[in-house]
Structure 1
Amino acid sequence: MFTRLIGKPKADESSGALTTMSLEKLTETLEVLERKEKVLERKAAVEHERAKAFSKAKNKRAAIQCLIKKKRFEEQIEILGKSQLRLHDQMILLEGAKATTETLDALRTGAAAMKAMQKATKIDDVDKVMDEINEQMENMKQIQEALSNPIGDGFDEDELEAELEELEAAELERELLQPVTTSTSTSAAPVQVPAGVRQPSTRPVPEKRSAEEDELAALQAEMAL
């Protein structure tokens, strides 16, 4: 997919192969020139030795001819040296261009991958995933709250408090009404008795003593004796 998005993979492959072939060709040519240079250096050295020999033999003309050959060999060696420098420069440029191309290809591939990922990841999908996560978190929160509630009979606390208030109000009302009822009974108006009717004795009826009072009376009687 990435190679399709990049654009022209065949052209890129051909360019890379051409660069590799060019570097190989330059390397081979450089090696050939170096071998030729060594051969020419040996030939120049030979002509130098021959010139020395002819000079010792007093053969001036032959010595000059050897020096001329030596100069020609040295000129060719210089040309080969310059050619080698050009080949080295070309190889450096090609290697730099190859590195730049590979870097650009890598960047292009990364950009295509990023574009593909962004295309596959839509903002609506992100919002949907976040909504699902929030919903799951809310459900989990409700479950935890439900599990944390105590297990009971389920009576409504408000109803229980209202009933308790009614009981307290009734008890308070009973306490307030009790002394009013007692005073009313003690201060009741006397009953009118018709003439000729004998009124019953108003002597108070002796109250029944308690057991404690009986015991106290018995004790006082014993002490009197």
Structure 2
Amino acid sequence: MFRKVFGKTKQEANPLPTLHKLNETLEMLEKKEKLLGKKAAAEVEKAKQFTQAKNRNSAIKCLKRKKLYEQQIEQLGNFQLRIHDQMIMLESANATTETVDALRSGTAVMKAMNKTTNIDDLEKTMDEINDQTESMKQIQEALSAPVGAAADFDEDELEAELEELEETELEEELIQPATTAPATSVSVNVPVGRQPTKPASQRVNREEDELAALQAEMAL
């Protein structure tokens, strides 16, 4: 059943023309139903008039025709129910068909993608990326390697020399006495007319110089 429905082309399985035709038929049946309802009501009115006129036979004929109209109205109601049921089924089938078509399109796209990019191609691409990455790493290492005189330096000798410098610096810090903080200069206001006295050491040095000069003059 599904193969018969979904195996047809989209134009052949298009339910829209059929739904349109069913809708037109439904409108026609509704109009007939209203018309028959009016005829049945008219027969009832005629039956009332014949009853008032004491015409029993004509009244009964009117009621019989009313019954026939009511049977036709009931039949038209059943037809409408069948059409409504058919329309619901077609609308549901249309939604199902559209869903299947969408899924089928998605599956086709996925198949096309798998054909263009399969697992072998993916692994090959990843291998190429890894190769290029390794080549770039080797190029960077070659560019960063020392050349010329710097390439002849012995790292162990440099480390030993650095340790000697650190030990020498440590010994000098231990031998050097602790330095006192420099005295803060304090401005002293000296009274006008008075000069600050020179230190005693300066006076002793000056007296010794004067004595030496006097001895030299006496020797002459």
Q: Identify the TM-score tier after normalising by the shorter chain.
A: 0.5 to 0.7
Kindly tell me the number of residue pairs found equivalent between the two proteins.
155
- Distance in 2 between residues matched to 1:72 and 1:117, nearest whole Å: 67
Give the fraction of aligned pairs with identical amino acids, expressed as a percent: 58
Matched, 1:122 2:132: no
- Structure 1 or 2, whichever has the larger Rg, is 1
Gaps of 5+ in 1: 1-8, 165-225
SS in 1 for 2:126: helix
Matched, 1:48 2:30: no
Matched, 1:12 2:14: no
One-letter amino acid of the structure 2 residue matched with residue 130 of structure 1: M
- Going from structure 1 to structure 2, the CA distance change for 1:159 and 1:56 (only over 3 Å counts) comes to closer
- Distance in 2 between residues matched to 1:80 and 1:159, nearest whole Å: 107
1:103 to 99, 104, 123: 99
In the alignment, which residue of structure 1 is the partner of 2:150?
154
In the alignment, which residue of structure 2 is the partner of 1:185?
none
**1:129-182, CA deviations, whole angstroms, 9 ceiling, x for partnerless residues?**
2122223333444455556667873232349849x9xxxxxxxxxxxxxxxxxx
Matched, 1:69 2:65: yes
SS in 1 for 2:54: coil
One-letter amino acid of the structure 2 residue matched with residue 27 of structure 1: N
- Distance in 2 between residues matched to 1:57 and 1:143, nearest whole Å: 121
TM-score norm. by structure 2 comes to: 0.61
Matched, 1:27 2:23: yes
In the alignment, which residue of structure 1 is the partner of 2:180?
none
Which runs of structure 1 show a deviation greater than 6 angstroms over 4 or more consecutive aligned residues?
A: none
Matched, 1:137 2:133: yes
Gaps of 5+ in 2: 1-5, 161-220
SS in 2 for 1:155: helix
- Going from structure 1 to structure 2, the CA distance change for 1:151 and 1:48 (only over 3 Å counts) comes to farther
SS in 1 for 2:151: coil
- Distance in 2 between residues matched to 1:159 and 1:24, nearest whole Å: 93
Matched, 1:84 2:65: no
SS in 1 for 2:46: helix
- Going from structure 1 to structure 2, the CA distance change for 1:158 and 1:150 (only over 3 Å counts) comes to closer
One-letter amino acid of the structure 1 residue matched with residue 51 of structure 2: S
1:178-193 paired onto structure 2 within 5 Å = none
TM-score norm. by structure 1 comes to: 0.60
One-letter amino acid of the structure 2 residue matched with residue 90 of structure 1: Q
In the alignment, which residue of structure 1 is the partner of 2:172?
none
One-letter amino acid of the structure 1 residue matched with residue 24 of structure 2: E
- Going from structure 1 to structure 2, the CA distance change for 1:148 and 1:54 (only over 3 Å counts) comes to farther
